[in-house]
Each structure stands twice: as C-alpha cells, then as structure tokens.
Homo-oligomer: A and B are copies of this chain.
Amino acid sequence: MALIVQKFGGTSVGTTDRIRAVAKRIVATRDAGNDCVAVVSAMGDVTDELLSLAEAVNPEPPEREMDMLLATGEQVTIALLAMAIHSLGHEAISFTGAQVGIVTDAGHTKARIQEVKGDCVREALAEGRIVIVAGFQGRTPEGQITTLGRGGSDTTAVAIAAGIAADVCEIYTDVDGVFTADPRVVPDARKVDTISYEEMLEMAATGARVLQLRAVEFGRNHGVVIHVRSSFNDLPGTVVKEADASMEQAIISGVTHDTSEVKITIRDVPDQPGVAAQVFSALAEANCNVDMIVQNVSEEGSTDISFTIPKEDLVRAKRTVEAAVRHLGARTWSVDESIAKVSLVGAGMKTHPGIAAQMFNALAEAGVNIDMISTSSIRVSCVIGADQADQAVLALHSSFGLSDEDVRAETAPTAGGGN
C-alpha cells in the first residue's frame, strides 16, 4: 500500500463526465489498496470566464481580488469531484488551498509556497477518506487567499506530496510522459522512463511543456518522486527523481525546442564597464524575463549585445530598449521575431566532452545557421531561424541516436558502437 498524490489538470476535469471519469480512476487507485490525495485544477474554460468577468468591471483589477475570484474555479472542481467519488460509494472530502494549509507569501497572482501544513489531509486519510485538494491556490499566514500563477496546480501537487511524505506524485496529462523530443516534430521520439530533476529542469526551461518548472524545482528541493503519465491509459509514464546508479545513463536525455521567444540586438554599444548592467537592470525593472544573453567581441571600442525574451514581454522591452539606446549612445537596435531555440539536455555531458561540437556539426550538416549559443553543465542551446526549428530538432535527435530504434540497436549484441 502506497500513499499517492494524483494531479488532474483543467482538461481532465473539463466537464462533469470527465470529472466522473477522474473519480473512477481515483477510486481504482484506492481499491488497489492505496491512500489517495487528488489535486485538481479549475474546469476547462472556467478561469477564462472569470477573467472576462473581471475585465468587464475593472480592466486593471487589484491582484488580491483577482485571487479571490480565480480561487473559486478550483473550489468548484474539488466539490464536484468529491461528490462524484461519493456516488461511487467511497468517502471523499475536499479542501481549498487555504484549508489544507498551503501557506504562501503575499505575492498575489504569483504567490510562492512557504509551507504546507497538511494536518487535515493526514487526519482525513487516517479516517479512510479520499482527499481532494484545490490546486493553484493557497493563503498567506494572515489568511488572505492567494494563487500560485502559471503551473500552480502541478506545484500544489508536488508540495502536498512533500508535505505528507507521499511515495509518489502522479501528474496526469494528455501525453504518455516526457519524450526525447516533441513527438509532433519527431515521430520516432522515445518516451523517457526515468530522468533526473536536473535534466527535467533544463528540459522544462527550454521548451518541454509536459511538466512545469516550478513543480520540478519543488520536487528536487524536497525529494518528491514525480510520475508524469497519461490520463487516457494505464501505461507507466516518466519518473522524475534524484539521479542514482539504477537510472538509465543516457548521455543525452532529449532535444527540446521553443519558438516562444524573440531576439533583440543592440548594435555599437560603447564598450565600457556597466553598460550591460544598465540595459539589463532596466529590463528587469520593466519585468522583462531575459533568457539568453550574448555579447559579441568588441571592435574599435564598441560592441553588440543580443538577448532573447518571451514574445509577451516584447512591448515592454521595446520601450525600455529604446530609452536605453538613446541614453547609451548606441547606434541602433533591431528585433528578430522569427527565432527558435533548440536545446540538447543530458547529464552525460558532464563526463562526455565533444557533445557541443557534435551538436554544431549536426546542425551545420542540416544546413542550419546558428545565431546564438548558451550552455550549462548539462545543456547546450542554440538560437536559430524559426523556419529551421523542425529540421534542427530532427537532425539532433538522429545524430545523438535518441529514437527507440537507435536505443535497441545500441544495446543489441550485434550492433556497432553508438555515440
């Protein structure tokens, strides 16, 4: 018998029929002898409907009241799911984020979890009940209702799992797990059975949408085993956990890509101390989330600075850069909205030199030009033209032998050497 936290997103609970299906899955887990806690999001479009109501009364609503409003979305789902489980003959009890003791800071609409009390969860489980918790929400120490922002429900699930020392936190989604590349781009992409927190963090940060970055961070910090799996079948998915000897030691875990960023280049910036600090401090103040930064080699006392930001920050960034360019006496600046970032992620890079070189070669052979490069100890990312994203991902996936066929060939006795 295990203690299992299961998280179901907005699509999985989008209608009352789907809520009944989720109830059946939870009851099956319970009937198999496990203690169950379910964490759920708001039903399908509910959050959008609430946002449009808010827009109608105040285009710039105070964030505290926005949280008060949005938190009702998950509260509806938890009540309905508890009712659906009751109708299957099991005892269930629902709790809001505030009730369950998800204590956060006061950063309304993007609050950070500080503590998970979870006493009422443990008590309800001890009474033999299935526990349903509202994702995405918490409360301040003073009792104000907060929401956790993007990826909040995943984070709630992992935080609850940490708080009650669950054996595993299952994240149900519409794909079978984490893949070596986006299967829509690479048809023979392979599902990864296990992956370390570090690799999952890099993949989530560079375009793998299956699991939210914050949830992975929380899982790593508290040692929560996360199982990403499909809500449409019973197949095992991808287990995210601490790297250990038993884990498959692929050099490369996957190829990710991200077309949600734009590149800004500022040309002929005076090459003197403090210039980069001025530009990026101004961008930070404007709440622009800068990702990659490259500063080219200086020529004749001036330099070029390029950086990428999410598309949705572009309007703010343009205003800021325009002012900075005037202030710094830079020559000009430009925006490239047609970029993609392709990344290679793998813990094996630490011990296998030459991965970056192989990546650049593979891209060159595929005729893909590289605009910018950035690296971490287990990741290499290249900015390329958006129209070449798919062929870059395919080339890298093939070059590093990540498909099922490649892996079978590599491990078969008669196969030649792999990478």
Is there a chain B Cβ closer than 8 Å to A368's Cβ?
A: no
Is there a chain B Cβ closer than 8 Å to A75's Cβ?
A: yes
Is there a chain B Cβ closer than 8 Å to A56's Cβ?
A: yes
Which residues in B have their C-beta under 8 angstroms from that of A87?
57-61
State the interface size on chain A (CB cutoff 8 A). Answer: 39
Is there a chain B Cβ closer than 8 Å to A64's Cβ?
A: yes
Near B by CB (< 8 A), chain A positions 21-69 give 23, 50, 53-54, 56-62, 64-66, 68-69
Contact A75 B68 (CB under 8 A): yes
Q: Which listed residue, B16, B66, B82, touches A62 by the CB 8 Å rule? A: B82
Which residues in B have their C-beta under 8 angstroms from that of A79?
54, 65-66, 68-69, 72
Which residues in B have their C-beta under 8 angstroms from that of A64?
93
Is there a chain B Cβ closer than 8 Å to A84's Cβ?
A: yes
Is there a chain B Cβ closer than 8 Å to A94's Cβ?
A: yes
Which residues in B have their C-beta under 8 angstroms from that of A82?
62, 65, 68
A56 to B19, CA, bound (A): 10
Is there a chain B Cβ closer than 8 Å to A239's Cβ?
A: no
A56 to B61, CA, bound (A): 33
A82 to B61, CA, bound (A): 9
Q: DSSP class of A's interface residues: helix, strand, loop or mixed?
A: helix
Is there a chain B Cβ closer than 8 Å to A257's Cβ?
A: no
Contact B69 A80 (CB under 8 A): yes
| Contact mask for chain A residues 61-100; partner B; CB cutoff 8 A; 1 contact, 0 none | 1101110110110011011111110110000111010010
Is there a chain B Cβ closer than 8 Å to A20's Cβ?
A: yes
Across the two chains, which residue of chain B brings its CB closest to A67? Answer: B79
Is there a chain B Cβ closer than 8 Å to A143's Cβ?
A: yes
Which residues in B have their C-beta under 8 angstroms from that of A50?
76
A60 to B68, CA, bound (A): 29
A94 to B99, CA, bound (A): 18
Which residues in B have their C-beta under 8 angstroms from that of A86?
58, 61-62, 65
Given A65-B94, A93-B64: A83 touches B71 (CB 8 Å cut-off): no
Given A86-B62, A94-B65: A57 touches B80 (CB 8 Å cut-off): yes
Which residues in B have their C-beta under 8 angstroms from that of A71?
75
Which residues in B have their C-beta under 8 angstroms from that of A58?
83-84, 86-87
* Minimum Cβ distance to chain B for residue A152 (Å): 17
Contact B72 A57 (CB under 8 A): no
Contact A83 B99 (CB under 8 A): no
Across the two chains, which residue of chain B brings its CB closest to A99? Answer: B143
A50 to B66, CA, bound (A): 21
Near B by CB (< 8 A), chain A positions 79-125 give 79-84, 86-87, 92-94, 96, 99
Contact B76 A20 (CB under 8 A): no
Given A64-B93, A99-B143, A143-B99: A57 touches B69 (CB 8 Å cut-off): no
Which residues in B have their C-beta under 8 angstroms from that of A19?
57
Which residues in B have their C-beta under 8 angstroms from that of A65?
79-80, 82-83, 86, 92, 94
Contact A57 B143 (CB under 8 A): no
Which residues in B have their C-beta under 8 angstroms from that of A56?
16
Across the two chains, which residue of chain B brings its CB closest to A17? Answer: B56
Which residues in B have their C-beta under 8 angstroms from that of A72?
72, 75-76, 79
Q: Which listed residue, B54, B68, B80, B93, touches A54 by the CB 8 Å rule? A: B80
Q: Which are the 5 A-B pairs with shortest beta-carbon distances?
A: A69-B79, A16-B56, A72-B72, A68-B79, A58-B87
| Sample of 14 A–B contacts (CB below 8 Å) | A16-B57, A50-B76, A54-B80, A54-B83, A57-B83, A57-B84, A61-B87, A65-B83, A69-B79, A69-B80, A72-B72, A72-B76, A72-B79, A99-B145
